[in-house]
Each structure stands twice: as C-alpha cells, then as structure tokens.
Structure 1
Amino acid sequence: MHTRIRTRLVRTLTPLLAIAALGTPVLAASPAAAVTNFTAKVALNGRDGPSLNANTVKVDMYLAGQTVPVSCQAKGEEAYGSAIWDKTTDGVWVPDFYVQTGSDGYAPGVPRCGDTSLDSTALPATADLDGRQSPSLSAAVVEVNAYHNGDLVPVVCQATGGSAYGSTIWDKTSDGLWVTDVYVKTGYSGFDPNLPKCASTSAPSSAGYLAKTDLNGRATTQVSAPAVKVYPGGSTIRITCQAIGENAYGSNIWDKTTDGLWVTDYYVKTGFDGFDPGLPRCTDNTSNSGSGYTAKTDLNGRATKVLSAAAVKTYPSGSSIHITCQAYGEYAYGSYIWDKTTDGLFVTDYYVQTGTDGFLSNMPRCDNDQPTGGAPGGGTGPTTGNGTCDTAGHGRINGPAGSTAGTSAEKISRIIALAQQETTKSLSYAWGGGGKGGPSCGIASLSPGGYNDYNRYGFDCSGFTEYLFWAAAGRDIGEGSNTQSRQATQVSYSSVKAGDLLFWGSPGNTDHVALYIGNGQMIEAAPPRGTSSVHVTNVYGSHSYAIRIFS
C-alpha cells in the first residue's frame, strides 16, 4: 500500500554539518532564515503574535493577491479552522489559512519558528484515527479523522490512558493530538521501546474554539448581564470550563473564558450540542436560588401545586417574587410548571416573568413529580398529533434496541421501512422530541427559531434518525446531529447510497440531518410544524459528504 506523510505533520530538525579540513564533522554556522514567497488569498492584517487576539501591527498589511514573504511557521491559536500561523520577514504573524502555500498544513521546506518539540517517529495508521485532547475515548475530538488509514502518524511519545479497543496505550503526535495505539503500527503489542514515555497526559488548561458570531462576554451566566467584552465572529475564544446557566438560544450551557467572562455555548463551535467532554465543569458559577422575578399579575401563593389549594398569600402584580426551585404540577394557564417561593409557597410559572416558557436552566427542581391533571377539553395532558405528552414524555426517550441480525443491506432495508412507516403517523415537528423510544413531546427550551414545542408530539431531525437506527438495527448513533455527523464512515456526497445520513453543515457543526433513501430522495423530520413533519422529499441544499453507518 502506498503511504504518505501529510505535509502538515512533518516535523524535522536537521542540523547542517560541515566537513572541516581534517575531516571532522562540525555544526556549520546558522544560515540566514530562508524566505518563501506565497500569495495572500484575502487582505491580511499583520499581528504581533500568532493569535486573532494579538495586537494588529498593520491593517491590510498584505492585500489579496500580494506576496507574503514567509520566514517560518508555528502553531498558535486556531483561526478559521487552522492552528498554523506564518511569520513574515516583516516580523508579523498572519493566519496560514489565508496564505496560498499549496498545503492545508505546514508547507514543505518552510522551517518552524523556534520549534523545540520532540522529534517524531513516522508510523503507519491501520485505521482512520481521530485526534483527541487527552488519552481517553471520552476526551474531546480535536480533529475528526486526523490521520487516515495508511497515513504515517508522527508519534513523539506514548502513555497509559483510558482503555480503547483492548489497549490502554495511547500515542501522542507532534501535533499535540492523542490517538489510540492499537491502530498505529508500531510493531509491538505493548509500549514501543524505541519511543519515550510522555511526561504528562493532562489536558490543556484551556481550549481554543471559534466564535460563530460576534459574542458578548458577560460577568454572569445570564443574557441580561451587561457585555464586558465582545469576541468577534471567527475569532478564537479560549475556554477553561463549562457550566449550566440561563437558557439562551436553545441551550443552557455557558462557557467560561480565560478572561473570566461567560459566553453562551450555543455560538461557540465546540463540536458538541451538550457539554464538551474534554472540558471540566466550572465550580464557581452560582445558581439563581432565591432570585427575584416579576409577577405579571396579582398572583396567589399556594401550599401545593394545584389551583384548588387555598391562597395563602397574594403577590401583587409588578412585585418581585423570589424563587428557590421549580417543579411540575397541575396544568394551569397553558403550563405545568410551578415555582416555589422563599415563603415556601407555589405560584403558577405562567404568570412569573422568568424570560422562558420552560424551566429555568439554572434553577433546581423542587421534586421529581410528573405533570398532573390535563389540559382544558379532556384527556390526560396536552394532546397533539397521535400522542399525549404526559404518557410519551418530553425530550429524548429510551426504548428497546432493535435486532442487530442480518447483513448491512438487510439492516438498511429495515431502517428505511421504519422511516416510511413514521411518515404515516401525522407527527409534528418537536424541538428536542423523539429518541430511541420513538416520538415524544418537545423540551421546555425554545427552538433556535424561537418556537415553544413543549406540547408538540413528534420528532426533531436527530431524534428521528436516532430512533430509526436504534429501533430497526440496534445501532446507537448518538442524540444530536453533531454527534451523529462524526459516526462511522464519512463518504463523499457523489457516492451517497440509500441508508446514508445527510447533513447540512460540516462534521461537528451541523444544522440538520436526514435519511437518504435513494433516487435523489430522503426522509426527514423537519418544520413546518403540523401533522406531516416526518415526510419524504427530494434532497435539497448543498452537501459535500454523508455518513455511512452500515457499509
């Protein structure tokens, strides 16, 4: 098999030897730094360090089409999908992504800027390998398929980590990534005696992620907190930890930056819909226990979570109600949520101005009770479509795994048949709805489009595909579209086959997923909301890849 070393992975330190008159090899004097001229793809600012947060020495220092005289390259903060920066003969730094070097990584022949990393040993990969932040399968994936089957992996050292595919040995590469040793051909079933042991396996104290848009850094985990600093869209934000905060844009996860500020995780490109497993939880964010919220009208405080309970106290309209926890209770005014006050009384959440129609993400639950009572008009709960929210539940729900028997073709046939069956059930689109157990009602958080799907019964896009593969073939592909976009094998869209998953976006940064069924058609769970949200449609949009779960 022909192997290749990707140019961005090669790291060499080659001393120049001179032959003295007596034939003794000595180190020659260091020559002047080589200069390689490349072309700027766009107008580039010159900065005083390899970071978008570094000071700008000169705006538009190199215009689009002009020559960029690169003297060396080095790793810096990630910028536009690459961590490589180029230093010019003018002593400034520019992001390599926008310099036309002919390589998507380190350019061959260009030296490193003071690179003192360990020499690497190039060893063949025997499978596609994800590069992770630390030596564990639960660690964050820094780069999906960082090394493809047949690539030469530049290994600098080895260490013991989490068990992976029958081995606890992990290899660290010259890019600072961790890969499972079992799929690196070292020639040894244990540690390679020719490779050093890594001095440390701890993850970095912070990780750099791209801001999807201009993003406000706030002193607390609330969108009402004033912006202390704005992180520009496309810039790298250094995150130290994550925590639960106020619901913002469909997510209650907040990220803490190295500036000590909080940003909404929804607009940070971490590659995860939920917590990033490679980042720790913050220990210093405070909940809103006892926080004051405004009463929308004169509001009765009751000893229990039912409207028939006597009013113990009335909170005047416009007054501040201090809430300690929230819980499900009797259906009241369009909501099952009740709030407990510091007086020990319950008030209907519908008339408390909390800023969300659902549970406050940073408020504890008073108990684990399920919703009680029913919506006006009968039934046991808010009935929509063919299901009842009280009985079906909200959000991702579990269910029995389907059979794993049969060939890949047979599994795909069962998956497509199940998908077609769901198109006949008059299901609505429900943000956060569905899962391994089938359709359910949506979650309390508003959808990215601002819709409240809490009482809608059906699927969202990834809940639908999760259900299909689990119930029809016993395969767990994960809950969110971002997770699903990293599963199994990535194939080009030009070679898409029935049973493949189509994604809108890029791996780890997707907006939608659907099941391809052949002949240019797919089945999806998608708006508009109503009784035909799970439907067959022609493939639309632009696609560069698909995920093939079963080959």
Structure 2
Amino acid sequence: WITAAYTQAVTSSTTNNSSNSGNTSSNTSTNNNTSTAKEQAISKNLQTTTSINVRSDASTTASVVSSLSSNATVKAVAQKQGTTVSGTATWYKLSSGGWVTAAYVKEVSSSSNTGNSSSNTNVSTSVNGAAIVAEARKYIGTPYQWGGKGPDVFDCSGFTRYVFLQVTGKNIGDWTVPQESAGTIIPVSQAQAGDLLFWGEKGNTYHVAIATSNSSYIHAPSTGYTVTEAKSGFGTASFALRVK
C-alpha cells in the first residue's frame, strides 16, 4: 500500500503513449543499424584498364575464380557495393560469372563487340556439329581446374580442345586465343550446334564454350563449378566461330 498524499491519478493514454514512444525509438534505432548491399541488374560493356582478378564476390578477400588481361572486353549484368578499391566501392558481376572492381574497368560502347553485328552468310555448317555436342555432353559434371586438359578436369579452353580432338582428331589450340583461328568467325546470332562461342575482344578472349543449339551452350565455367549446359548468357558472347 502507498499513501494518496504523494500520488496523482493519470489517464491510461498517457502511459500507453509513453510506452509506444519508447518502442518507436527502439525500432528506429534497430533499422538504422542494418545495411545490406543490394545487387542491381544492369547491362554494360566493360573493358579492363589493367590485368585484374575475377573474384567469387564483391570483395578483395573473396576467392579468385579467374583473371582478365588488360583491354579485355566483358559484359556486366549486375553491380553492388563491396570492398573499396582505389576510392570506389562499386563491383560488377560478369555474364560469365564472378565479380570485378569498378576501379580497373571502363564502360565501352556495344560496338566493341563486333562479332554480334558482323555478317557472314556464306559459311558452311559446323564440322560434325551433332557429334561435337554429343561428345561434349559426356563430360557434364566434370570439375573445373585451371589448366585442365581432360578428361578428369577441364578449364574452358581445355574442354573445347579435348572435345574437338576426340571427334575430329584436330587440335584447335591450347587456349582461347589460338582457338580463335580454328575456323571462320560468324555473328553469335548465326551460331549453331558445334560452333564455338567466345567472350572478350578478338585476340584477347578470356572464355570459350561450345554451342549446343542457337540459344544454349556447354562449357567449363570457373573454379568451384563443373562442366554444365546453360542458356543464360548466350547472347552476351562476343563472337562465334565455325570450326573448319
């Protein structure tokens, strides 16, 4: 019990408002303490200004999945904020997978990807296209390993080289740039099963795959992945090649 001499009656709304005000303040403080980097979809053609690493996430501590040489042309499909490098925290997600810092790339016009716009209507069909695709599909699930030439592990160019060697007996080249000379360059829009797809500027390509149709391809993507068949990213290839 307490004496009424030192208390006064108040309405219940006063107590509730005070309590609610405290709750609101608490909630606002909590919300202000949460900050999550959001991935934003984009479509940009980029060119590296120096040799850089491609990482598994937007951080300089994320694992390196591949690398790009200077002046390589790539396609960015998303961006988000990550580790600050040379004053910028922006990172770009590449169509071929992985992230690069915006510090060492510049945006270029789509005309840089000349393989998509050039025309070549008098090109014969791919050498044993169906056989190439059938052979390539045998290795779906095979682990990626940088420098892997098969058949137990592959990198992207090691995979394409091995498949063509098995079917045609021809060595089309040990890595992407020599493989650019294994046939006739055609627009990506004309690619058929058995053709090669390249990403990057001619003479400086960084990824290669085998078309399994006019909208899908099979490739050895990057570290941590296995040989897989995909459709996403087909249209972002820089140019195609019909092997002679």
TM-score by length of 2: 0.48
Choose between structure 1 and 2: higher helix proportion: 2
Taking CA–CA contacts closer than 8 Å with sequence separation of 6 or more, which of the two structures ends up with the larger relative contact order? 2
Choose between structure 1 and 2: higher strand proportion: 1
